[in-house]
């Protein structure tokens, strides 16, 4: 049974990812500041795997190290890490505060770095491992009102490249860059009318389901993806493939 750490698995993309791995038979540890949602409590899953929540703030470097070491000591192996926990704060550049920007970078970028960094020694000792993370299409473009968020996601894509080059061939990396995904994060920031407007701008005419991002993570963690490393994979219903309207 593989041991998989997924951060931010109490909600949205992380929850769908944890469920996907657990249903395929993996032991999943969910590192999240919030408890699991009532619809996905801790415990065994059909398919033989299980999910267990640990209260960890991924922005806390030492807490992440202690938890990764604990998981490895308890399970004897660490196969896959999905660094997914993230936050986004909608603010124009002139409203942006130091505290908000630092928190966004601490969770979204330092959180990925901490989780990957502390997993590496365990994976190297065993001679294999897969490091995955949730980036965003907005890490590759100047999406307005999210300057700090966009920068944090560009940083995640950069970590993905450097970790792959430095740690290959024993450790593979990859990140998924979703477009709009219908999760509690998205619902918290957009009104129903705004969500509809987003749908109209996406050639697929809808948001992604969290399960569609989870499916990509599951493939990237599988032996079928053995030659995939160091790259970001966009899952966005063609949102960033080109202009959606002709003039
Ligand atoms: P979500 O808010 O539904 O879930 C995020 C989870 O992360 C929550 O359970 C939250 O408690 C947890 N979390 C937040 N801060 C944390 C911290 N410091 N330590 C540990 N856990 C923490 O959001 P989501 O939409 O599922 O987003 C998941 C990831 O996907 C994020 O990195 C986000 O930036 C990225 N993403 C989302 C979208 C989208 O449209 N929803 C698009 C692109 C990228």
Determine the distance separating the centroid of ligand 1 and the alpha carbon of 165, expressed in angstroms.
27
Catalytic residue among 143, 146, 149, 190: 149
3 state SS for the chain: CCEEEEECCCCHHHHHHHHHHHHCCCEEEEEECCCCCCCCCCEECCCCCEEEEEECCCCCHHHHHHHHHHHHHHHCCCCEEEECCCCCCCCCCCCCCHHHHHHHHHHHHHHHHHHHHHHHHHHHHHCCEEEEEECCHHHHCCCCCCHHHHHHHHHHHHHHHHHHHHHCCCEEEEEEEECCECCHHHHHHCCHHHHHHHHHHCCCCCCECHHHHHHHHHHHCCHHHCCCCCEEEEECCCCCCCCCCCC
Q: What is the pLDDT of residue 126?
A: 97
Best residue among 135, 143, 156, 185 to mutate for probing ligand 1, ranked by most atoms within 8 Å of CB:
185
Determine the distance separating the centroid of ligand 1 and the alpha carbon of 92, expressed in angstroms.
21
Model pLDDT for residues 105-158, shown as the tens digit of each residue: 999 999 999 999 999 999 999 999 999 999 999 999 999 999 999 999 999 999
Residue 212 and residue 178: Cα distance in Å, rounded? 10
Report the nearest-CA residue for atom 18 of ligand 1.
Answer: 57
Cis peptide before 214 (omega within 30 of 0): no
| 14, 6 contact by CB (below 8 A) | yes
Best residue among 6, 7, 10, 14 to mutate for probing ligand 1, ranked by most atoms within 8 Å of CB:
14
Q: What is the pLDDT along the chain (247 residues), one digit of tens a residue?
A: 999 999 999 999 999 999 999 999 999 999 999 999 999 999 999 999 999 999 999 999 999 999 999 999 999 999 999 999 999 999 999 999 999 999 999 999 999 999 999 999 999 999 999 999 999 999 999 999 999 999 999 999 999 999 999 999 999 999 999 999 999 888 888 899 999 999 999 999 999 999 999 999 999 999 999 999 999 999 999 999 987 556 6
Active site residue 146: no
Q: What is the pLDDT of residue 244?
A: 59
């Amino acid at each position: 049974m593989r041991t998989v750490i997924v951060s931010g698995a109490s909600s949205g993309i992380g929850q769908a990812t944890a469920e996907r791995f657990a249903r395929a038979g993996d032991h999943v540890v969910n590192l999240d500041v919030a408890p699991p949602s009532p619809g996905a409590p801790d415990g065994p899953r059909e398919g033989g795997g299980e999910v267990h929540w640990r209260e960890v703030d991924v922005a806390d470097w030492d807490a992440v190290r202690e938890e990764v070491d604990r998981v490895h000591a308890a399970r004897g192996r660490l196969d896959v890490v999905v660094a997914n926990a993230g936050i986004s704060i909608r603010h124009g550049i002139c409203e942006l505060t130091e505290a908000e920007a630092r928190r966004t970078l601490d969770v979204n970028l330092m959180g990925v770095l901490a989780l990957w960094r502390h997993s590496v020694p365990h994976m190297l000792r065993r001679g294999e491992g897969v490091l995955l993370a949730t980036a965003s299409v907005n890490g590759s473009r100047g999406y307005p009102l999210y300057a700090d968020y966009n920068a944090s996601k560009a940083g995640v894509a950069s970590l993905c490249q450097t970790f792959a080059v430095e740690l290959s061939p024993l450790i593979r990396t990859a990140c998924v860059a979703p477009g709009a995904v219908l999760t509690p994060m998205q619902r918290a920031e957009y009104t129903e009318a705004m969500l509809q407007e987003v749908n109209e701008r996406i050639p697929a005419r809808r948001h992604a389901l969290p399960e569609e991002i989870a499916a990509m993570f599951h493939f990237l963690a599988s032996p079928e993806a053995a030659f995939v490393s160091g790259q970001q994979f966009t899952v966005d219903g063609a949102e960033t493939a080109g202009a959606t309207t002709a003039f």
